Structure 1
């Protein structure tokens, strides 16, 4: 399976995630507990990975599985980082509006490239660094409001705490992705065995989150396991399966590709979502959106272009024409 096929599928699933979530709403709200969706998605990923690991185990060559505690204890760390990130995200939204937060969220594109270089020791060319910065500029351009809109002046109206928390949120999101890639590539263990460890801890942490919500609400609606599927319909289950499938594709990219490809997939998914919203939700396209799409496509071409495709490298030596023949001249001297 080629990485570009997985990246394209990830782009499609990620772009449809926001649309399906919007379609699952009823009268502007959710009839179901939205906190149960990530939990069920983790369970779905755990079940699928367990089945694939079992099938791999039945093959003549058994999969490699490291069961030492020194290795297993590293897998809860991404869940802890995401847990801290969610709290920082909530705190950031108390200082800034949603549009400002989305624009600041594009910082994770650049921070992913920096952490990619520092922690994974992966070298990027100057042209690739320019492409990453250009991608951040393109996604930001597509989200900037028009000057005549009411929220135009809100970008620089938030207190300094909001911007600091926004930068921290972008760094945590990039750190979680880079660390997950480190886990996936640190040994030759089976991808499905690594997924089982990763999603087991993910399901446990999401279950603790549901229990915490029950304690905060005083168990007024009963324990979470009794109302787990309340308000669910076909669209809600599609959201769960979409979120779970997206996670499985991301783990494949972390194992056999890298974080930068994932960043490009999610960024292109954001643009695709905005384009589809024009037809599905009567979203008015803006000049900024078209400019952002053009800039992102330029960035995509720059990053994945062959080294000599964008710049003509002059040849250092000229080949001799075939038509020239070596002629020997015999000189005679008369005595």
Structure 2
């Protein structure tokens, strides 16, 4: 059996730290969001929380940039690379939909099932990755991706009498079939979220490594979060809830410990994701999401009392085998035309 290619998986010491942080933060994300619910509903406006998260990300990225640069330089960079700012509208809009759908879907599925269903994105991501970066995946890489998808399907197969609970749906019906109106609509929203994740992730990696390869990563984060704020504000306007969102009553509901934890964790996840795509790649990102499943299953069992069924165990084992196969022959996709500058924060991040 082949050995794990650690040097190809993690080209720098920092890249492994980013990988581990990404898994841990995403593992607790679903648990925190689910804990903030009240009877499968939220006492706060979801889009407002997503918008607030983007503001926190913007402030954090600006501070990190200004740590080694001045504010004037920040504005000059934004003006100089305004075309890149416009390009970031595409992933920003997709991520805005993704983040809003995440809140909705976590009211329909428990965190473990939610994370397993999201793994269907692996094949879509692989196809997009090949098209955008013109990198052909090997047979072993495709085998690992297909095993990953199989693991997701196994999660939806009943090995016991209690099918609806076993499949992770939070609201039971009298029908014994998964293909009820409720289930189909819930899975449809998951599918839309998956598409948003796939297109946004691969396109964002393209901007980080190609169109914006010579632009400081914190500046690119500023572009992403500025556009995300614009997109989420647009969603509030379309919903007719913009004025209500900034009302004192809504802000009072939003500013509680549970929501603050959601915002803080989501903001950290967003910044870590940009480093992940810059130093690693979107294919490894979906495998990292798969490794979250073990931690999510443990966390939800311990903190939310969500039982672990046989199909969950088999699903996780199948996914871990897929991850091991992939680790023997990982995808490499380094940034192109990387320029070294005096104040280049991402270069510091990549130093070994």
Provide TM-score, normalisation by structure 2.
0.73
- Partner of residue 296, structure 2: 273
Which sections of structure 1, spanning at least 5 residues, go unmatched? 308-335
C-alpha spacing 1:87/1:280, structure 2 compared with 1 (3 Å)? closer
The answer as to whether partners of 1:38 and 1:206 remain within 8 angstroms in 2 is yes
The answer as to whether partners of 1:32 and 1:230 remain within 8 angstroms in 2 is no
Which of the pair is proportionally richer in helix?
2
Cα distance between partner residues in 1 of 2:265 and 2:100: 24
- Partner of residue 64, structure 2: 52
Trace 1:161-240 onto structure 2 (pairs within 5 A): 169-186=193-210, 187-213=213-239, 215=240, 222=244, 224-231=246-253, 232-240=255-263
The answer as to whether partners of 1:106 and 1:140 remain within 8 angstroms in 2 is no
Shift of 1:248: 0.6
Counterpart pick for 2:131 among 110, 118, 124: 118
Provide TM-score, normalisation by structure 1.
0.76
Cα distance between partner residues in 2 of 1:24 and 1:107: 26
Shift of 1:4: 2.3
Query: RMSD of the alignment, in Å?
Result: 3.6
**2:161 aligns to what SS in structure 1?**
coil
Which sections of structure 2, spanning at least 5 residues, go unmatched? 1-12, 168-175, 331-352
C-alpha spacing 1:132/1:252, structure 2 compared with 1 (3 Å)? same
The answer as to whether partners of 2:141 and 2:329 remain within 8 angstroms in 1 is no
Cα distance between partner residues in 1 of 2:220 and 2:126: 24
Moved more, 5-14 or 139-148: 139-148
Shift of 1:80: 2.5
Counterpart pick for 2:267 among 244, 250, 255: 244
* Pair member with larger Rg: 1
Moved more, 124-133 or 65-74: 65-74
Shift of 1:88: 8.7
Cα distance between partner residues in 1 of 2:284 and 2:131: 17
